[in-house]
Structure 1
Amino acid sequence: MNVSQTIETEEDLLTCLHIKLYHPQQSSRGLYGLLPLGKRSRHSADDPLRLGRDAQACTYSLVDPRVSRKQLVLFAYHTPQSPDMLFTIQNLSQRGRLSVNSSALDYLERMDLPDKALIRFGEYEMLIIRESGEAKGSFEVEFEVLAVPPSRETCMCVPSMTPVMDTGSCVTNGFPAELRAIGPLENDETLMCQS
């Protein structure tokens, strides 16, 4: 095989991690001044992607003294069973926990990222959404700042919640029985499409 057959072409669709950030004091503190907001950045899949306060040690930096020097790292990988590029997240902070969809990770603990993950550390909330691509050797990252916490916007069904099939909404088991008994608010299964 010659070199031109093994190099990714510009036509290859790259996997993209959409990283949406929220902090309660983000408008007044300039926390995201070092992030390339609103544009896609390309990364080699064999280089770990680090996020933290230290701009020298991390791929992306937050301007916040309360963030660890190295807060977290994302690793890209492939499995023999799937052509998709997948990701693992690892907590690099010795000072604090990191949670992924309500699962806590202590220092150096790691876990696989689902296609949509709510990451929390300190007062930060990060929604990471993986958009699949075909390229094997690189991926893209796109940062965005959210006006409201993603935990309020999305229903991340976690073990303490039960999905309701008709609407896809979540009902928390901790609510009183009268609230759980309400059920789905609407059911559009009988809508007819006309051509």
Structure 2
Amino acid sequence: MMNVSQTLETEEDYLTCVHIKFYHPQQSRRGLYGLLPLGTRSVHAADEPLRLGRDAQACSYALADPKVSRKQLALLAYRTPQSPGMLFTVQNLSQRGRLSVNSTALGFLERMDLPEKALIRFGDYEVLILREAGEAKGSFEVEFEVLETPPSRETCACVPSMTPIMDTGFCLMNGFTDGVRALGPLETDETLIYDN
């Protein structure tokens, strides 16, 4: 006779993992990530939104930054009949802060499906989210990491609608040009020949 535990699905075998990689220009001087479990994988129930923000009581994970909204964003897992794997949606929970996914700005409570690789921006943060496929249906893993360089430098070539800016290392994203303009005028090569 077969044991009941042998017939049950074991979701711990191969969970979908969401890699969340942070960059902030002042991260070396501030303890922004002190509340995150960096470098370890945490299991999260798929039927619960993964909330990220400043408030450790209201959010699944918190950033120690007074400039971050109390509830900044939520990741919601879902599945479709056409796709057996777990997919994710990101939702902007901030009433005052802007949030951008790749080149699309999201207003308060607006949501968008995440591709396998997405660059999310809010405030001075750049967050690279990578989805590693798995088979489990009831839960997924989350792994947090801190990046030494802005992910926009690496993702400009692979994310549509992003244009590299000469000599700055920044990427221009729709709705996020004000921060770059505040840096002042950018130099251009005056020796370029333009065809009219």
TM-score normalized by the length of structure 2: 0.78
In structure 1, the partner of 2:10 is: 8
Counterpart contact for 2:11–2:137, Cα < 8 Å: no
- SS at the partner of 2:28? helix
Identity of aligned residues (%): 73
- SS at the partner of 1:153? helix
Query: More displaced, 2-11 or 15-24?
Result: 2-11
Shift of 1:102: 1.1
1:29-79 Cα distance to aligned partner (Å, 9 max, x none): 100000000010001100100000000000000000000000000000000
Question: 1:39 & 1:113 partners in 2: Cα distance?
Answer: 22
Seen in structure 2, the aligned counterparts of structure 1 residues 160 and 73 have a Cα distance that, compared at 3 Å, is closer
Q: Which amino acid aligns with 1:44?
A: A
Question: 1:100 & 1:156 partners in 2: Cα distance?
Answer: 14
In structure 2, the partner of 1:157 is: 159
1:76-116 Cα distance to aligned partner (Å, 9 max, x none): 00000011100000000001110000100000000100000
Q: In angstroms, what is the RMSD of aligned CA positions?
A: 2.1
Counterpart contact for 2:53–2:61, Cα < 8 Å: yes
Equivalent residues in 2 for 1:159-178, closer than 5 Å = 159=161
Counterpart contact for 2:59–2:71, Cα < 8 Å: yes
Question: 2:111 & 2:101 partners in 1: Cα distance?
Answer: 10
Question: 1:124 & 1:160 partners in 2: Cα distance?
Answer: 17
Question: 2:76 & 2:8 partners in 1: Cα distance?
Answer: 22
Shift of 1:159: 3.3
Structure 2's unaligned 5+ residue stretches are 164-188
Seen in structure 2, the aligned counterparts of structure 1 residues 57 and 160 have a Cα distance that, compared at 3 Å, is closer
In structure 1, the partner of 2:97 is: 96
4+ residue segments displaced more than 3 Å: 2-7
- SS at the partner of 1:108? coil
Q: Which amino acid aligns with 1:89?
A: V
Q: Which amino acid aligns with 1:70?
A: K
Seen in structure 2, the aligned counterparts of structure 1 residues 3 and 108 have a Cα distance that, compared at 3 Å, is farther
Question: 1:10 & 1:112 partners in 2: Cα distance?
Answer: 25
Counterpart contact for 1:101–1:156, Cα < 8 Å: no
Seen in structure 2, the aligned counterparts of structure 1 residues 121 and 3 have a Cα distance that, compared at 3 Å, is farther
Question: 1:93 & 1:156 partners in 2: Cα distance?
Answer: 27
Question: 2:35 & 2:161 partners in 1: Cα distance?
Answer: 36
